[in-house]
Structure 1
Amino acid sequence: MREVVVETNLPFGKRRKGKVRDIYDLGDKLLIVATDRISAFDYVLPTPIPNKGVYLTQLSLFWFKKMETIVKNHVLTDNLKEFPEELQQYKEVLEYRSMLVKKAEVFPIECIVRGYLSGSGWRSYKETGEICGIKLPPGLKESEQLDEPLFTPSTKAEKGHDENISFKKMQEIIGKEDAEQLKELSIKMYEKARDYAKNKGII
């Protein structure tokens, strides 16, 4: 088994440390490395999980590929042999847990689609009867399937807590046209992933 990777300190470009991923600016592209850090409820927990970053990266690549018919993505390659030569010596750290990606404009929004009433959505519903400003009928139970998928965006915080926001607030932050497009794409991707998972016996 490979060593646990809690943090990377590669001597290339400027490093930005997220909750789970380390991102290196290589000039015309970015190197994204998924560590074995755990983030839950917006906190980084003290105990890492061996190879978590490997599984996270491979899962991400699977879904990027699966969603290509709906939206393009930023991935250039995850093949270490296609990485810049100076990165080759860091195979033990990078292999299977990293990818090179195009630089792109980032919307400061996390696009969340809910098919079931659970998590922070359930907590919000219990308190207000709503999720992100969307009124729901009374009497729903925890983890109950919703009549149709709900788009419930949140802010995307580099540090600290993400905050659930209304679609109207999202429009104010990034503009109406982009918000509408992100909502449409998010629901299409959710439906495709839901149908794929259902065929595998997964909710």
Structure 2
Amino acid sequence: MSQPVVIIGTGLAGLSTANQLVKTHSVPVILIDKAASIGGNSIKASSGINGAHTTIQEEQHITDSPELFLKDTVKSAKGKGSEPLMDKLSKDSHLAIEWLQNEFDLKLDLLAQLGGHSVPRTHRSSGKLPPGFEIVSTLSKYLKGLAETKPDLVKIQLDSKVTEVIVDAERQVTGVQYQDKEGETHTIYTSHVVFCSGGFGFSKDMLKRYAP
């Protein structure tokens, strides 16, 4: 792949996507975030990351299952969620936690039962660091190192607000435009764009235009 994958957003989703592409597939990535620092909403997370039927739960003799996680999630959504997405979340949640533990040596060894959950399934590491800060810092450290040593593989564009997704006559993505902090517009040509902008990326204009 000659073109980079452009990842919009540097929260947990964006950092996970970038690490997977770079570490597993050696695919070049460009991370773009309109904020001045990496982390998005994820870095503010103070509770932990939820997962059902994990090794930590088993070690602590807590009985949980993806089915129970889904039931709790559907109930909490009160009819407003997407059940296929909630099902995907519930089934794969333990894989996300195992990935963080195995690939980045994060403990995530403490459990808590928070609102909406039938059993303790919110994971965080023993220690003083808030879970969001710990996870984001760990995932971004590897990417920052590559951005310095292998800039052709990883680039991180902060203070950069995406303003346009460029599409051709066949409705195929051909690039993205963004404004830097000086207000100058730049274009990255690529057919590979991943939106990981979460709550920080909320835009009524873009939602109306691309996902009516």
Question: Given the two structures, how large is their TM-score scaled by the length of structure 1?
Answer: 0.28
Question: Given the two structures, how large is their TM-score scaled by the length of structure 2?
Answer: 0.27
> More helix by proportion, 1 or 2?
2
